Structure 1
Amino acid sequence: MVIWMLVFLSAAVFYDWQEFRIPNWLTGIGAVITTGICLWKGVEIADIAAGVLLPFFICIGLFYLGCLGGGDIKLLMVCGIPLGTYVFRFLVVSFLWNGVYAIIFLWRHGSFRLRLSYFIHYISECLESRRLIPYQNRLQKSEEDQIHFSTGVLLAYLTLFVF
């Protein structure tokens, strides 16, 4: 299972870096193969369902706010198939790795302070209006300014595998 997940996640990271999206066919094939391996190994269907549904319900709000892409959520759902309820730990580690990655990325591009001030302004707008406003990154100039969430997901999987 570990080797399959590393191959799948590596392919997802490759497509994310090349095309700035993770293709549906890749996550579809990943879900089918991962589910097949889990069922063959005797993983309970309830555990598989928990591993898929928890990332969906935890991350869908971030999708509607414009903070996370649909391919990233589907990637997390496929990763959750073998993890069951342990997917919550995986999500925490994934978001931590992506936070570190984002800080390094922004610092290297010289936009850390600007993005931080924009984010603080966004939070204050939400608090003033007492509702969640879609997060629109007005500072993003091109696709090269995007952070590839799949990289943090791969790092999280490697971290959980090692520890």
Structure 2
Amino acid sequence: MNMLVVILPLLLLLVIATVCDLRHREVPDWISAGVLLWGIVLTGLGLHSVGWLGLLWGVLVGFVLSATVFYLGGLGGADVKLIAAMGAVLGPVALLFVLFWMALAGGVLALVAAAQGQRDFAYVPAITAGFVAYMVYPGEVWRHLFP
């Protein structure tokens, strides 16, 4: 299976979510639902190796970790839903790597916001950047495109 078929719909939905978050500071629920549905479709058709158990664990890990940060005041509810839905597509292990890159991108965003005197900022750009960094840095995309 071409890795781009798996990645592009998720990336497209993340870019749409980023634009919505930057413009309106709100992410429509249909985006997170679309990401979750994409994970279910990929698993149901056997288009990736996550499997049903990995899908469930990915959602659970994404939800628990992001909900914890939500309750500490660091994320919004839409961020939690989006991260949990990403777990359905990526599975728990890949999601942990994405969360690492997302935290780094979020730290950079926080520094930029602080330099501009803002305490609150859109976080979906960090989620998208974390996903892109994961896809590029370990060579995930390139390994599948150019075996």
State whether residues 35 and 89 of structure 2, in contact with CA within 8 Å, keep that contact through their aligned partners in structure 1: no
Q: CA deviation at 1:72?
A: 0.3
Q: How does 1:3-82 map to 2 (within 5 A)?
A: 3-40=8-45, 41=47, 43-82=50-89
Task: Report the AA paired with residue 47 of structure 1.
Answer: G
1:81-106 deviation digits (Å, cap 9, x = unpaired): 22212211211211111001111222
Provide TM-score, normalisation by structure 2.
0.80
In the TM superposition, structure 1's runs of 4+ consecutive aligned residues that sit over 6 Å from their partners are none
1:155 equivalent to 2:129? Answer yes
1:103 equivalent to 2:111? Answer yes
Gaps of 5+ in 2: 1-5, 138-147
Structure number with greater Rg is 1
Task: Report the AA paired with residue 72 of structure 1.
Answer: D
Tell me the percent identity: 24
Task: Report the AA paired with residue 5 of structure 1.
Answer: L
CA distance in 2, matches of 1:29, 1:82: 11
CA distance in 2, matches of 1:153, 1:59: 11
SS for the counterpart of 2:89 is coil
- Report the number of matched residues: 129
CA distance in 1, matches of 2:86, 2:34: 12
State whether residues 113 and 120 of structure 2, in contact with CA within 8 Å, keep that contact through their aligned partners in structure 1: no
CA distance in 2, matches of 1:162, 1:38: 23
CA distance in 2, matches of 1:79, 1:33: 9
Gaps of 5+ in 1: 112-139
Task: Report the AA paired with residue 102 of structure 2.
Answer: S
SS for the counterpart of 1:34 is helix
Provide TM-score, normalisation by structure 1.
0.72
CA distance in 1, matches of 2:76, 2:19: 16
